[in-house]
Structures are given as structure tokens and as C-alpha cells.
Structure 1
Amino acid sequence: MTESATITDLRRELEKAWLALDATQRHLTAHAEMNAALHCAEQVFHSPLHAKVTAALQGIDHALNRTKPAVPLNELSQQHSEAHCLWRTLLADLDRCQHGRHHGDACGPADDCNGTSAGNPHLRPGMVIGYGLRRDAIVMPDPDRKHDVNAWRLPDAPA
């Protein structure tokens, strides 16, 4: 049996043990809460077994995290694409006003944008919102260039 097959088998067994211990922990918790309610206690006291089960669950979590299989680069690239990037979506929404409308979009007549959204009042185009690893400024781009990655960066700051 290869090493990766052995690790896969061990991970499967650890996952089964985790499920059993999780059910045990829930049972012990319910039992302790029932005893506390039965005796009108203000605090719930858990047994030493409950603490041991919790520690075992944490140990299994640690072992499972250490033996996670590496995701091949080609699979990773299939899972993450420019079109489905959550960060890109978040950045593209930074120009919205408090009513959820992009800069220049029509806002409701009752909104204080007076018909046309003025965008985010806290982040105006050209405003520095952070810095990159190489001291390049990250700025709020013009609304028409917000989907251009290069529009979010300014050249390096002087030394």
C-alpha cells in the first residue's frame, strides 16, 4: 500500500472517530444541561469525560488539518477564476452609495442621493485606501475603470 493510500485510510478512520466523538460530546452536553435544569442549578457542570472528548476532537481536527492532501495546481485554477473571484466582486462594490447603487446609477426619489447616486461618500475616486507590498498605493479607481486591475494601483512612492 502506498503512503498516500495509507494516509487516505487513516483520514477516513479519523473522520469516523470524529463523528462518533462529536455525537458523544453532544450527548454529554445534553446530559449535563438536563442535570442542571433538574436541580435548578445556575451553572452547567460538565464531567471530566466531556473534557477528554473535547480534547480528542481537537486532536483529530489537528491531525486532519496536518494531513490534508495538496490540491493540484490545475484543480486550483479550475476552482478559482477571474469571473468568480469574491475579492473582485467586493472591490467592484466599493463605489456603491448607502442605498446599494453604483456611482451614477439612479437612486430612489426618497433617498438623499437626489435621484442619481453619488457613490460611496467615504471612498472617492483617486483616494488612497491602502498600500501594497512594494509601497505602491491602492486607490479607489474611476467608476468606469473599476474592473481594470491596474486602475487600483498607483506607481511606487518615492524613496
Structure 2
Amino acid sequence: MKKRRSKDQKCSDYFDAFKAIQAGTKVKRSIAKDGSIPTHSCVPVDVSLSEAEVLKDCLTWLARHRILANRNNVGCGMVGESGFYSYGIIGGGDVIGCLPNGQHFEIECKRGKGGRLSLRQQKRMRDIRKNNGIYYVIHGLAELEYYFRELLK
């Protein structure tokens, strides 16, 4: 079942289309119909990396630097006849951890060439940052090192 777009999303699309027509440029959406936004690396990374490889590299790097970090798996299923269960933090980062100074961080791993951040991930990112936590979207090891070099001084 397809999720309906809110009035805010529709108005935003109309406004973007109006501005594009005024400027004489092609009309295109700034975000997808489902509300997800594209992500790209801020530093050069290997674009052939899959999300699983990026995640493995991140966990290895964090362990090598003795930073507390755990993998956050999300899913659901059935347990026999007893019923339905779910686990993990929906919208949470792939890696959840704590810096040596006690600050909470989450890392969402995306493939090297970029990916999309869902609405739930965007909401989680806003909530974490609003409460003085750190939430990064990582596309490769070089980007992780770029973000963490200032935090580990």
C-alpha cells in the first residue's frame, strides 16, 4: 500500500515547481514521493563499496580506536504460535555507541555511491541532534575518519 503525501509535501512540490518555471529550469522533485532524501559523501570514497562493507569497515575502525559501538539490527518475525515480535530501533543508525566523553552517537551506513535517508531516519537524526547527540551518515571509511578526527582529540 502506498503512503499518501501530506499537504505540506504537496505544497512544497508545488512551490518548487513554481520556482523552477519562473527560473526557466526543468521541474524536478527535491525529495522522493516517499519523503526520502538522497545522500552523498562529503569526502572522496570508493563508490564500489556496498553498505555491508562500509558497515564492517566502520565497526572495525571504531573497535580499533576503542570506542564503544554496537550494531543495531531491526526486524520482525513470528515465534511459533505465540505471536509477532519486533526488535531494534526503527529509524536508528546501523551503529549505536558512546564516545569516551560520554556523548551518544549513531552512524547510518550507506553504500559508497550514496543512498537514500528515509523519513524515519531523518526524524531519528533530528531527535538525536536536538538532544546533543551525534548522528552521521557514512559512505566509507575516509568519511568516518573525517568526522571522528575532531571528536577524538
Where relative contact order (Cα < 8 A, 6+ residues apart) is larger, the structure is 2
User: Normalized per residue, which structure has more helix?
Assistant: 1
- Whichever of the two has the greater Rg, that structure is 1
Higher strand share goes to which structure?
2
- Per the normalisation by structure 2, the TM-score is 0.19
TM-score by length of 1: 0.19
